[in-house]
Homo-oligomer: A and B are copies of this chain.
Amino acid sequence: MASPAKRVTSRNSSTGKRAAILRAATRVFARNGYFNSKVADIARAADVADGTVYLYFKSKEEILHSIFHQNMAEAIAAARKLIKEVSDPREKLRRIASLHLQRLGADRDLAVVFQVELRGSTKFMEAFSAAGFAEYLGLLHDTFEEGQRAGVFRKDLNATIGAKILFGALDEMATNWIISHRNYKLEPMADVVMDVFLNGVSDGTPASGVQPAGGMPAK
Protein backbone atom coordinates (compact mmCIF):
# COMPACT_ATOMS: atom_id res chain seq x y z
CA MET A 1 0.00 0.00 0.00
CA ALA A 2 2.88 2.25 0.68
CA SER A 3 4.51 3.14 -2.59
CA PRO A 4 2.91 2.13 -5.87
CA ALA A 5 6.15 1.41 -7.65
CA LYS A 6 7.72 -1.23 -5.49
CA ARG A 7 9.65 -3.97 -7.16
CA VAL A 8 12.45 -4.52 -4.72
CA THR A 9 11.99 -7.48 -2.45
CA SER A 10 10.89 -6.41 0.97
CA ARG A 11 14.21 -7.72 2.18
CA ASN A 12 16.40 -5.00 0.77
CA SER A 13 13.75 -2.33 0.60
CA SER A 14 16.06 -1.07 3.24
CA THR A 15 17.95 1.07 0.78
CA GLY A 16 14.82 2.48 -0.75
CA LYS A 17 13.24 3.57 2.51
CA ARG A 18 16.41 5.15 3.75
CA ALA A 19 16.80 7.15 0.58
CA ALA A 20 13.15 8.12 0.62
CA ILE A 21 13.44 9.42 4.15
CA LEU A 22 16.50 11.44 3.25
CA ARG A 23 14.78 12.92 0.23
CA ALA A 24 11.68 13.73 2.23
CA ALA A 25 13.70 15.24 5.04
CA THR A 26 15.55 17.48 2.63
CA ARG A 27 12.26 18.81 1.36
CA VAL A 28 10.76 19.24 4.80
CA PHE A 29 13.84 20.89 6.30
CA ALA A 30 14.06 23.21 3.32
CA ARG A 31 10.45 24.29 3.69
CA ASN A 32 10.14 24.68 7.45
CA GLY A 33 13.64 24.88 8.76
CA TYR A 34 15.31 22.14 10.75
CA PHE A 35 14.05 23.15 14.15
CA ASN A 36 10.50 23.70 13.02
CA SER A 37 10.34 20.37 11.25
CA LYS A 38 8.69 17.54 13.11
CA VAL A 39 9.90 14.02 12.64
CA ALA A 40 6.27 13.20 11.98
CA ASP A 41 6.32 15.59 9.01
CA ILE A 42 9.30 13.81 7.56
CA ALA A 43 7.68 10.44 8.07
CA ARG A 44 4.50 11.56 6.38
CA ALA A 45 6.41 13.08 3.47
CA ALA A 46 8.36 9.85 3.07
CA ASP A 47 5.17 7.83 3.33
CA VAL A 48 6.33 5.79 6.30
CA ALA A 49 5.33 5.64 9.94
CA ASP A 50 7.01 7.79 12.55
CA GLY A 51 8.72 4.81 14.07
CA THR A 52 10.19 3.70 10.78
CA VAL A 53 12.37 6.78 10.69
CA TYR A 54 14.10 5.45 13.78
CA LEU A 55 14.86 2.16 12.13
CA TYR A 56 17.17 4.03 9.78
CA PHE A 57 18.37 6.99 11.81
CA LYS A 58 19.31 7.35 15.42
CA SER A 59 17.80 10.78 15.74
CA LYS A 60 16.46 13.74 13.90
CA GLU A 61 19.89 15.28 13.99
CA GLU A 62 21.45 12.25 12.37
CA ILE A 63 19.16 12.76 9.41
CA LEU A 64 20.58 16.21 8.86
CA HIS A 65 24.09 14.85 9.22
CA SER A 66 23.41 12.17 6.69
CA ILE A 67 22.06 14.62 4.14
CA PHE A 68 25.21 16.64 4.52
CA HIS A 69 27.71 13.80 4.48
CA GLN A 70 26.24 11.99 1.55
CA ASN A 71 26.02 15.04 -0.66
CA MET A 72 29.37 16.39 0.37
CA ALA A 73 31.08 13.10 -0.37
CA GLU A 74 29.47 12.95 -3.78
CA ALA A 75 30.38 16.54 -4.56
CA ILE A 76 33.99 16.19 -3.55
CA ALA A 77 34.40 12.96 -5.48
CA ALA A 78 32.87 14.57 -8.55
CA ALA A 79 35.10 17.60 -8.23
CA ARG A 80 38.23 15.47 -7.81
CA LYS A 81 37.36 13.50 -10.89
CA LEU A 82 36.62 16.62 -12.89
CA ILE A 83 39.91 18.35 -12.23
CA LYS A 84 41.96 15.33 -13.09
CA GLU A 85 41.01 15.89 -16.71
CA VAL A 86 42.78 19.23 -17.01
CA SER A 87 46.10 20.62 -15.92
CA ASP A 88 45.66 24.40 -15.92
CA PRO A 89 44.86 25.35 -12.31
CA ARG A 90 42.64 28.14 -13.54
CA GLU A 91 40.57 25.70 -15.48
CA LYS A 92 40.47 23.42 -12.48
CA LEU A 93 39.03 26.15 -10.33
CA ARG A 94 36.57 27.07 -13.04
CA ARG A 95 35.31 23.53 -13.11
CA ILE A 96 34.99 23.26 -9.38
CA ALA A 97 33.09 26.52 -9.23
CA SER A 98 30.81 25.45 -12.01
CA LEU A 99 30.11 22.13 -10.37
CA HIS A 100 29.48 23.81 -7.06
CA LEU A 101 26.76 26.09 -8.40
CA GLN A 102 25.43 23.49 -10.77
CA ARG A 103 24.77 21.00 -8.01
CA LEU A 104 23.06 23.54 -5.79
CA GLY A 105 21.20 25.10 -8.69
CA ALA A 106 19.80 21.73 -9.67
CA ASP A 107 17.98 21.11 -6.40
CA ARG A 108 16.61 24.09 -4.58
CA ASP A 109 15.64 22.11 -1.50
CA LEU A 110 19.10 20.71 -1.16
CA ALA A 111 20.50 24.18 -1.69
CA VAL A 112 18.36 25.55 1.11
CA VAL A 113 19.54 22.85 3.47
CA PHE A 114 23.16 23.51 2.59
CA GLN A 115 23.02 27.29 2.52
CA VAL A 116 20.63 27.88 5.35
CA GLU A 117 19.83 24.99 7.63
CA LEU A 118 23.34 23.69 8.00
CA ARG A 119 24.53 27.10 9.14
CA GLY A 120 21.99 27.46 11.87
CA SER A 121 24.10 26.66 14.86
CA THR A 122 27.72 26.76 15.77
CA LYS A 123 27.41 23.22 16.97
CA PHE A 124 26.43 22.05 13.50
CA MET A 125 28.81 24.35 11.75
CA GLU A 126 31.75 23.04 13.68
CA ALA A 127 30.76 19.44 13.24
CA PHE A 128 30.29 19.94 9.53
CA SER A 129 33.34 22.03 9.23
CA ALA A 130 35.35 19.19 10.67
CA ALA A 131 33.77 16.84 8.21
CA GLY A 132 33.50 17.55 4.53
CA PHE A 133 33.53 21.27 4.51
CA ALA A 134 37.15 21.63 5.47
CA GLU A 135 38.01 19.06 2.86
CA TYR A 136 36.29 21.11 0.21
CA LEU A 137 38.06 24.28 1.23
CA GLY A 138 41.24 22.23 1.22
CA LEU A 139 40.62 21.22 -2.36
CA LEU A 140 40.33 24.86 -3.37
CA HIS A 141 43.39 25.65 -1.32
CA ASP A 142 45.55 22.98 -2.92
CA THR A 143 44.48 23.89 -6.40
CA PHE A 144 45.22 27.51 -5.75
CA GLU A 145 48.64 26.67 -4.40
CA GLU A 146 49.29 24.57 -7.45
CA GLY A 147 48.54 27.63 -9.52
CA GLN A 148 50.93 29.70 -7.49
CA ARG A 149 53.70 27.19 -8.03
CA ALA A 150 52.90 27.20 -11.73
CA GLY A 151 53.29 30.97 -11.76
CA VAL A 152 49.70 31.52 -12.76
CA PHE A 153 48.50 33.11 -9.53
CA ARG A 154 50.12 35.85 -7.51
CA LYS A 155 52.34 34.47 -4.85
CA ASP A 156 51.80 37.33 -2.43
CA LEU A 157 48.42 35.97 -1.43
CA ASN A 158 48.02 33.32 1.20
CA ALA A 159 46.44 30.29 -0.47
CA THR A 160 44.07 29.72 2.42
CA ILE A 161 42.73 33.21 2.08
CA GLY A 162 42.48 32.86 -1.66
CA ALA A 163 40.42 29.73 -1.19
CA LYS A 164 38.13 31.46 1.29
CA ILE A 165 37.56 34.43 -0.97
CA LEU A 166 36.54 32.19 -3.81
CA PHE A 167 34.38 30.01 -1.65
CA GLY A 168 32.74 33.03 -0.04
CA ALA A 169 31.87 34.56 -3.36
CA LEU A 170 30.34 31.33 -4.65
CA ASP A 171 28.55 30.74 -1.40
CA GLU A 172 26.97 34.15 -1.52
CA MET A 173 25.79 33.57 -5.06
CA ALA A 174 24.05 30.43 -3.88
CA THR A 175 22.52 32.03 -0.80
CA ASN A 176 21.26 34.97 -2.76
CA TRP A 177 19.80 32.75 -5.40
CA ILE A 178 17.75 31.08 -2.71
CA ILE A 179 16.54 34.21 -1.03
CA SER A 180 15.72 36.07 -4.18
CA HIS A 181 12.70 34.34 -5.55
CA ARG A 182 13.44 35.34 -9.08
CA ASN A 183 13.98 32.60 -11.54
CA TYR A 184 17.44 32.83 -12.91
CA LYS A 185 19.96 30.07 -13.45
CA LEU A 186 22.56 29.72 -10.75
CA GLU A 187 25.29 27.88 -12.59
CA PRO A 188 26.25 30.66 -15.04
CA MET A 189 27.15 32.87 -12.11
CA ALA A 190 30.19 30.70 -11.67
CA ASP A 191 31.71 32.13 -14.82
CA VAL A 192 31.25 35.69 -13.66
CA VAL A 193 32.71 34.97 -10.25
CA MET A 194 35.64 33.13 -11.77
CA ASP A 195 36.28 35.96 -14.17
CA VAL A 196 36.60 38.47 -11.34
CA PHE A 197 38.48 36.09 -9.10
CA LEU A 198 41.02 34.93 -11.66
CA ASN A 199 41.51 38.50 -12.74
CA GLY A 200 42.06 39.46 -9.14
CA VAL A 201 44.57 36.77 -8.32
CA SER A 202 46.43 36.42 -11.60
CA ASP A 203 50.15 36.87 -11.53
CA GLY A 204 50.76 40.01 -13.55
CA THR A 205 54.13 38.92 -14.92
CA PRO A 206 53.31 38.12 -18.54
CA ALA A 207 55.78 35.27 -18.69
CA SER A 208 54.46 31.82 -17.85
CA GLY A 209 52.47 31.53 -21.06
CA VAL A 210 49.44 33.11 -19.45
CA GLN A 211 46.98 34.83 -21.69
CA PRO A 212 45.20 37.57 -19.69
CA ALA A 213 42.17 35.81 -18.26
CA GLY A 214 38.77 37.02 -19.39
CA GLY A 215 39.09 40.77 -19.06
CA MET A 216 40.44 43.31 -21.48
CA PRO A 217 44.00 42.61 -22.56
CA ALA A 218 44.95 45.79 -24.39
CA LYS A 219 41.67 47.31 -25.39
Contacts and interface: CB of A to CB of B under 8 A. Distances in A.
Interface of A: 30, 33-36, 112, 116-117, 119-123, 125-126, 129, 154, 157-158, 161-162, 164-165, 167-173, 175-176, 178-179, 189, 192-193, 195-201, 204-205, 215-217, 219
19 contacts: A35-B121, A112-B122, A116-B122, A116-B125, A119-B119, A120-B121, A122-B179, A125-B179, A126-B179, A154-B215, A162-B196, A165-B173, A168-B172, A168-B173, A169-B169, A169-B172, A196-B200, A198-B200, A199-B200
Contacts of A189: 161
A-side binding surface: helix, strand, loop or mixed? Answer: helix
A120 B122 contact: no
Nearest to A167: B172
